[in-house]
Structure 1
Amino acid sequence: MKTRILTTLAAGALLAAATACGAQSLDSGSSQAAATAPAAAPDTAALDQAPTEEKAADVINAITPDAALAAKVPAKVKTEGLKVVSSIGYPPMELYASDGKTAIGLDPALARAIARKLGVKVTITDEEFNSQIPGVLTGRYDFVISSMTDNKERQGQVTFVDYVRAGAGILVKSGNPAGIAGPADLCGKTVSVVDNGSSLAALEGYAADCTKAGKKGVDILKFPGDQEALLQVSNGRAQASITDYVVAAYKAADPKLAVEAIALEGTESPWGIGMKPDNKELIDSVKGALDALIQSGEYGKLLKAWNLDKLAVQSAVVNGGQ
């Protein structure tokens, strides 16, 4: 029933747009012309502007709505705008601007870009990570975009449109004096890492591989946080540090730190935009907008602005996680 209502409203909005752009009404006897007239694109001036501290602001503000995609947006989203939830505090994916309340980073940038491509306004709300999927399922939010891995367990709750592939990375000194290109080069080296989670597990696996191959093992230095682990590379105590690639790329973008980021091939998994599974119109709209941004090159520019080119996907895939 809800699907039928939304479809009817969307069709009505499309007819109204066709009439407003100069097509004759059905009452005039030119029903064919009205039915086939292209939809008018939403007024770009009425859309949200990106925050000035957003690195991709110029790219976002230049995005114009796709009339065909905008015509198919769910009626509620057309009137209320996109309601997006994220967990702010994981740079460069999500962080606050200097005012302490405006969300910037790749995830907010992509949310704003999708909204502009669909010709709607957008609000981005900060929520604790575990509250995000429940907020989508209750209808409080239209979608979650929060560095969320698309996997089978979460697919049991939401439908994902995958927007990047992210994995682990290695931080080394600028110029890579130790010549580290991958896990095999860590044998015999001192490597720092945060003392929990997937990065430590990966490093322990690489160390075990070194031993099995008859090479020198890895001297692992464990620390409570990324900053302490990074410091060991800066001060020369460690030749490398293992962390999430997005964190490594963010650190490498700061010239004062004098470090480089190396992606660890084979560790990538898709991160997705999560939506309520029965909200088919919205899923199709978001997938269409992301594909349009990829094809236009605007998506690539968003990633480049945040030094995250290596996360790029070639197309928008639904539930690509395993």
Structure 2
Amino acid sequence: MNTRILTTLTALATGALLAATAACGAKSLDAGASDRKSVVLDKAPTEEKAAGVIDAVTPDQDLAAKVPSSVKSGGLKVVSSIGYPPMELFATDGRTPIGFDPALARAIARKLGVKVTITDEEFNSQIPGVLSGRYDFVISSMSDTPEREGQITFVDYVRAGAGLLVKKGDPAGITGPKDLCGKTVSVVDNGSSMNLAERYAADCKKAGSAAVNILKFPGDQEALLQVSGGRAQASITDYVVAASKAADPKLAVDAVALDGTESPWGIGIRPDNKQLIESVKGALGALIRSGEYAKLLQAWNLGKLAVPSVVVNGGK
């Protein structure tokens, strides 16, 4: 018996064995998106706080079947601007993106049954990169605004606004803007936080309450030091920044969300890519309904940013 006959017989035997195995309940790697997860789907980086949640996400077969063919074959190409913790930051290797935005991108990819790559780009290059087709979507703490909606379509994934940093346990009893009357507040000079501080100070004056003493500094760190050092009772900043600081026990501070300052942040997708918009919308909705979305937020101390359902182009 020659080599070719042996090879043929071996192939026939192997085929029979595979068929028998399939008949007994084992599944082929090509049986569907959910069956390919051990081969196709990426594991979360070990330093990702939500790694356990991400790795537990399994594909939705109906959603996976409707993913654009380019994404099925090439994976989901995501762009972000890394350097705004806890939303986006690098792991200690200096090159692996972690944080809530990369975590959600990875969870969406797993729900759709595809691989994902996350690329760091300068913020202003991200929308052009999506429009050119270089990236499938941008997720980068990007506010959904009417102006941006003129370029790309947003699948809104959080509502974020301003927040207060106060000493651990909130000894000054500051739960909102009205409690700032008669207090000292630190802010970054010439920014949205200073504008809020001045607005709250004006409200206190209008109400006949004690004045707000505003201390202005060039950066968040200097403003935070005023709270930890006792010179200020509160510091106004972005809520996600406050949440990041509050998650560090060494700083001994709490974060307080400033209600009424929230606006939606969205995942930006090229408007004519209707199939991908529906895929991302469906995956995010599935993650919200399963509770996995809430767990991703909690892992990064961002529970207050949660949206109850998926909205497209909700910026006003």
TM over 0.5: yes
Specify the code of the residue in structure 2 equivalent to 1:122.
Answer: V
1:252 Cα shift? Answer: 0.4
For 1:221 and 1:43, how far apart are their aligned partners in 2?
Answer: 56
Name the structure 1 match of 2:303: 309
Name the structure 2 match of 1:251: 245
Show CA shifts across 1:23-70 (max 9, x none). xxxxxxxxxxxxxxx965341112110000000000000111000000
Q: In 2, are the aligned partners of 1:42 and 1:70 still within 8 Å (CA)?
A: no
1:146 to 140, 143, 147: 140
Name the structure 2 match of 1:103: 97
Residue 225 in structure 1 maps to residue 219 in structure 2: yes
Superposition RMSD in Å: 1.4
Name the structure 2 match of 1:6: none
Name the structure 1 match of 2:210: 216
SS at match of 2:280: helix
For 2:209 and 2:48, how far apart are their aligned partners in 1?
Answer: 46
Name the structure 2 match of 1:276: 270
2:42 to 17, 38, 48: 48
Q: In 2, are the aligned partners of 1:39 and 1:68 still within 8 Å (CA)?
A: no
Unpaired runs of 5+ residues, structure 1, are 1-21, 23-37
Number of residue pairs matched? 288
1:234 to 228, 238, 246: 228
Q: Give the direction of change, closer, same or farther, for the CA distance of 1:184–1:304 in structure 2 (3 Å limit).
A: same
1:162 to 156, 159, 162: 156
**More displaced 10-residue stretch of structure 1: 174-183 or 281-290:** 174-183
Residue 126 in structure 1 maps to residue 124 in structure 2: no
Show CA shifts across 1:75-125 (max 9, x none). 000000000000000000000000000000000000000000000000000
For 1:140 and 1:196, how far apart are their aligned partners in 2?
Answer: 35
For 2:121 and 2:217, how far apart are their aligned partners in 1?
Answer: 27
For 2:266 and 2:91, how far apart are their aligned partners in 1?
Answer: 24
Q: In 1, are the aligned partners of 2:33 and 2:113 still within 8 Å (CA)?
A: no
Name the structure 2 match of 1:294: 288
1:68 to 49, 62, 76: 62
Specify the code of the residue in structure 1 equivalent to 2:129.
Answer: G
1:83 to 77, 99, 103: 77
For 2:153 and 2:33, how far apart are their aligned partners in 1?
Answer: 30
Q: In 2, are the aligned partners of 1:164 and 1:272 still within 8 Å (CA)?
A: yes
1:217 Cα shift? Answer: 1.4
TM-score (norm 2): 0.89
Show CA shifts across 1:130-176 (max 9, x none). 11000000000000000000010000000000000000000000111
Unpaired runs of 5+ residues, structure 2, are 1-21, 23-30
Name the structure 1 match of 2:200: 206
SS at match of 1:255: coil
Specify the code of the residue in structure 2 equivalent to 1:189.
Answer: K
Name the structure 1 match of 2:166: 172
Q: Give the direction of change, closer, same or farther, for the CA distance of 1:40–1:87 in structure 2 (3 Å limit).
A: closer
Q: Give the direction of change, closer, same or farther, for the CA distance of 1:263–1:220 in structure 2 (3 Å limit).
A: same
Specify the code of the residue in structure 2 equivalent to 1:184.
Answer: K
